[in-house]
Amino acid sequence: MSDTRRRVKVYTLNEDRQWDDRGTGHVSSSYVEELKGMSLLVRAESDGSLLLESKINPNTAYQKQQDTLIVWSEAENYDLALSFQEKAGCDEIWEKICQVQGKDPSVEVTQDLIDESEEERFEDMPETSHLIDLPTCELSKLEEIADLVTSVLSSPIRREKLALALENEGYIKKLLQLFQACEDLENSEGLHHLYEIIRGILFLNKATLFEVMFSDECIMDVVGCLEYDPALAQPKRHREFLTKTAKFKEVIPITDSELRQKIHQTYRVQYIQDIILPTPSVFEENFLSTLTSFIFFNKVEIVSMLQEDEKFLSEVFAQLTDEATDDDKRRELVNFFKEFCAFSQTLQPQNRDAFFKTLAKLGILPALEIVMGMDDLQVRSAATDIFSYLVEFSPSMVREFVMQEAQQSDDDILLINVVIEQMICDTDPELGGAVQLMGLLRTLIDPENMLATTNKTEKSEFLNFFYNHCMHVLTAPLLTNTSEDKCEKDNILGSNKTNTICPDNYQTAQLLALILELLTFCVEHHTYHIKNYIMNKDLLRRVLVLMNSKHTFLALCALRFMRRIIGLKDEFYNRYITKGNLFEPVINALLDNGTRYNLLNSAVVELFEFIRVEDIKSLTAHIVENFYKALESIEYVQTFKGLKTKYEQEKDRQNQKLNSVPSILRSNRFRRDAKALEDDEEMWFNEDDDEEGKAVVIPIEKSKTEDDFPDSYEKFMETKKVLLMEQTVQTVSLWWLRQHQQVQMGPLPKLQT
């Protein structure tokens, strides 16, 4: 259906009294057999599915608000709203509703809002008593008016009747005239009564009254009435703040007078709700639901109007990216975009997608790259908030931008590296900004939200890019703080081992913990790429230096990193750990911890218990052969004795196997199963295609200080040699078995070798 008159957004009110967008579609009214009555139907414009099917109940109170909204309640705590694109469509559906209920379409509400108890109490009231008689609007009657307004708040039907009376008699404008007179006369008693009256009228929760109160003509007098709270010794100066302190900044002049008026109105109403009105009690929390809706739909309208003004947005971006723009102006532009993106969260998903695509097309990401590198903390903070909106909207869009950028720019000015630098250089002692940026980086490098195409190019291409252009920036603080020239080596009294203590203050320790959290995430999700990086950089050895940190949380982060590696049960990692003797710092930390039963103790014991339960033979053998003497005194858990038992059982099995073959085959170098080595070879070159894609990954270059560490090719050649030797031995073994069994059982079928 192409009729824009009937194009609507469907909203429902959630438990937090916020409107949730249920989608966009086209509304119609027709008779539905199952519901046995005329009903409102909304079908999604994307796929034609049914978004709403609601019978027009003769007793349901429908409200028409702001010319393009129809709001009603279908059941207790279930409110619905239709927001029309055009006023004509709203009027058309409103006439259908009024026709079913037998009402005049000129009314704003089709029924009185009555709960069950009120229905019973007032069911015998005569038809003529449908309105409340209001006192004459004069100074001497203010106390009586205040009592009347306060008394009706507990009764839904009386609130509705009072609202109708106030609307029909133009009473609010008369009250505001009295307010001006009371201020001129300095009549404090009258001003206190007017505070109670205006506050009570707001709690009537009527959109038609809000439209009067929040008009340009009345809103400042409404704010003035709310300054004179009787509970305060001196009145507040809210009007002075709104007119003098709060300045409306136009980064680019807004020529649309309706848009300007809507922005002013929304700011002032939000100020009334958040600042002036006290926090509602449990009994009052539903009194201002319509006020919340009023603000919500105003924001939707503001974003829509700004988005449709292409000339305005183009001018904003032109100034934001212009090198001639001074810092103050750029700060205002960034703050504008931050508010703009915050308002955009009120849009329905399809419109929000279009909004962010428009920003991307106009160049929001290159602009952010500039402002995130500025010295102004406020600008950087606002730019980070905008970046978080973009990453939340579409991580793939950000990834695509940075990969294209890498073809034209140096590593130092890449957007992701700018983000990493901001995380590393966060001056906040609690690293609040760094924590936020770390979360955004994790979203960007998470394979789970990368596009799942047949060839998985986004995963392989982006991870290649990240490990070649960005990983060195992320790990730089870690490698710097664990290098030999940065660490102190103190000989422990009564011990012949060397204790390496990293000189980390609390803020540095927090930063290193964040980096380790990201690296641990990489171990879990980037099987091949992070393995190659860890091997080439000998990264685990550097991380385990932090086991000696005076900050226990940092030592636990280092241990968690190793635990994730061991948890993969990957023999390449296992050989790397045993060859590098990387259990030593962990066992030293356990022994230094002594008899203290704390988190560090439990975490280390759990690591060894995992190895025992999973029966990781290579690690078990290494631990028992090298460290059992130091660990055998630990008896409060059976973990280490269990490891010794596993080791001895495996040794017995190996001896039994050796006894069944000739002495020529008993050399330790031929003990490994040939199939295990073949599996390792496959694992190294075809690591988890489902995770990383099938693209060939360019190896990370080795640093010159780590040339003694064997590279991947040397490992492969060594493995290949062993494999060939074992295949030869296997052939000899088959021949020997054949000859042996021929003696006992007769000839065997001919073997193919």
pLDDT bin (cut points 50, 70, 90) of residue 86 is confident
pLDDT of residue 721: 55
Residue 419 to residue 438: CA distance in whole angstroms: 9
Q: How confident is the model at residue 694 (pLDDT cuts 50, 70, 90)?
A: very low
Q: What is the mean pLDDT of residues 566-590?
A: 94
- Whether 215 and 272 share a structural domain: yes
Q: What is the DSSP string of 247-271?
A: ----SS----HHHHHHHHHHHHHHH
Classified as helix, coil or strand, 688 is coil
Please report whether residue 378 resides in a domain.
Answer: no
Cβ atoms of residues 706 and 537 within 8 Å: yes
Say what the pLDDT of residue 362 is.
84
| Rounded mean pLDDT, 353-369 | 86
Decide which of 607, 623, 656 is a domain's last residue: 656
Which pLDDT band holds residue 632 (cuts at 50, 70, 90)?
A: confident
157 and 271 in a single domain? The answer is yes
Q: What is the pLDDT of residues 647-657, one digit of tens each?
A: 999 888 888 88
- Asked whether residue 674 is assigned to any structural domain, the reply reads no
- In the predicted structure, residue 511 carries a pLDDT above the cut 80: yes
Q: How many alpha carbons fall within 13 Å on the CB side of residue 697?
A: 31
- Please state which of the ranges 52-56, 124-128, 623-627 shows the lowest mean pLDDT: 124-128
Q: How many CB atoms lie within 10 A of CB 316?
A: 19
Whether residue 502 has pLDDT greater than 60: no
Q: What integer is the mean pLDDT of 115-125?
A: 42
Q: Is residue 351 included in any domain, yes or no?
A: no
| Secondary structure of residue 9 in the 3-state scheme | strand
pLDDT at res. 479:
92
- Per-residue model confidence as pLDDT tens digits over 452-494: 655 557 788 899 999 999 999 999 999 998 886 555 443 333 3
Beta bridge partners of 50: 43
**Which DSSP category does 446 fall into?**
-
Confidence of residue 697 (pLDDT cuts 50, 70, 90): very low
In sequence order, which residues have a C-beta less than 8 Å from that of residue 716 and are 6 or more positions away? 681, 684, 685
Q: Which residues of 151-164 are buried (b: 16+ CB within 10 A; e: fewer)?
A: ebbebbbbbbbbbb
pLDDT of residue 368 exceeding 70? yes
Range of weakest confidence among 88-102, 196-210, 484-498: 484-498
Asked if 34 and 147 sit in the same domain, the reply is no
Could you tell me if residue 602 is inside a domain? Answer: yes
Q: Which is higher by pLDDT, 471 or 280?
A: 471
Residue 714 scores a pLDDT above 60:
no
Q: Is residue 228 part of a domain?
A: yes
User: Reduced to 3 states, what is the DSSP secondary structure of residue 10?
Assistant: strand
Residue 154: inside a domain: yes
Task: Please give the pLDDT value at position 470.
Answer: 93
Residue 739 CA to residue 325 CA, distance in Å, equals 90
Mean pLDDT of 316-345: 85
Same domain, 82 and 194: no
Q: Could you give the number of structural domains in the chain? A: 3
Q: What is the pLDDT at residue 664?
A: 54
User: What average pLDDT does range 566-571 have in this prediction?
Assistant: 94
- Per-residue tokens: 296: 């919500």
- What is the structure's pLDDT at 218? 94
Q: What is the average pLDDT score of the chain? A: 80
Answer yes or no: do 179 and 272 share one domain: yes
pLDDT at 685: 47
Please answer whether residues 31 and 39 qualify as being in contact, where contact means their C-beta atoms are separated by less than 8 angstroms: yes
- State how beta strands 78-84 and 488-491 pair: unpaired
**Residue 82 and residue 93 in contact, taking contact as beta carbons nearer than 8 Å:** yes
Answer positive or negative: Cα dihedral of 330, 331, 334, 336. negative
Bridge partners, residue 42, by sequence: 27, 52
Cβ distance 74 to 80 under 8 Å? yes
Q: Is the pLDDT of residue 283 over 50?
A: no
Percent of residues, the chain, with pLDDT higher than 90: 35
> How far apart, in whole angstroms, are the C-alpha atoms of residue 338 and residue 379?
10
Residue 75: the pLDDT is 66
> 188 is written with which tokens?
């404090």
Give the structural domain span for 187: 141-278
Residue 733 has a pLDDT of 52
The residues near 171 (Cβ < 8 Å, ≥ 6 apart) are 134, 137, 165
Verify that 86 and 149 share a domain, yes or no.
no
* CATH number of domain containing 55: 2.30.29.30
Helix axis angle, 327-344 to 364-371, nearest 10°: 130
Same domain, 223 and 168: yes
- Write the pLDDT tens digit of every residue in 151-176: 888 788 888 889 889 988 889 999 99
202 and 152 within one domain: yes
The DSSP secondary structure of 42-99, one letter per residue, reads: EEETTT--EEEEEE--TT--EEEETTTEEEEEEETTEEEEEEESSHHHHHHHHHHHHH
Answer yes or no: is 685 within a domain: no
CA angle 50, 56, 58 (to 5 degrees): 165
Average pLDDT of span 135-152: 91
- Same domain, residue pair 185 and 249: yes
For residue 61, what are the contacts with CB-CB under 8 A and spacing of at least 6? 72, 73, 109, 110, 111, 112, 113
Q: Are residues 91 and 147 in the same domain?
A: no
Highest mean pLDDT among 85-99, 304-318, 484-498, 729-743: 85-99
* Domain closes at, from 278, 306, 331: 278
Task: Tell me what pLDDT residue 726 has.
Answer: 57
If one compares 106 and 70, the residue with the highest pLDDT of the two is: 70
Same domain, 95 and 159: no
Model confidence pLDDT, tens digit, residues 372-417 = 888 888 888 899 999 999 999 889 899 989 888 888 777 677 899 9
The per-residue pLDDT for 485 is 57
Query: Kind and range of the H or E element at 429?
Result: none
**67 lies in the same domain as 191:** no
Q: Is residue 399 part of a domain?
A: no
Let me know: does 530 contact 519? Beta carbons within 8 Å: yes
> In the prediction, which pLDDT does 723 show?
58
**Nearest CA-CA partner of 391 in 440, 343, 438:** 440
Location of structure tokens 């962990």: 586
* Cα–Cα distance, 241 to 247 (Å, whole number): 9
Q: Does 578 have pLDDT greater than 90?
A: yes
Q: What is the largest CA-CA distance in the chain?
A: 126
pLDDT at site 587: 94
Residue 239: band (very low, low, confident or very high) from pLDDT cuts 50, 70, 90:
very high
For 227, residues 6+ apart whose C-beta sits below 8 A from its C-beta are 195, 235, 236, 237, 238, 239
Higher pLDDT, 457 or 256: 256
Q: Given 227, 245, 278, which residue is the final one in a domain? A: 278
Determine contact, residues 552/600, Cβ cutoff 8 Å.
yes
Tell me: pLDDT of 686 over 70: no
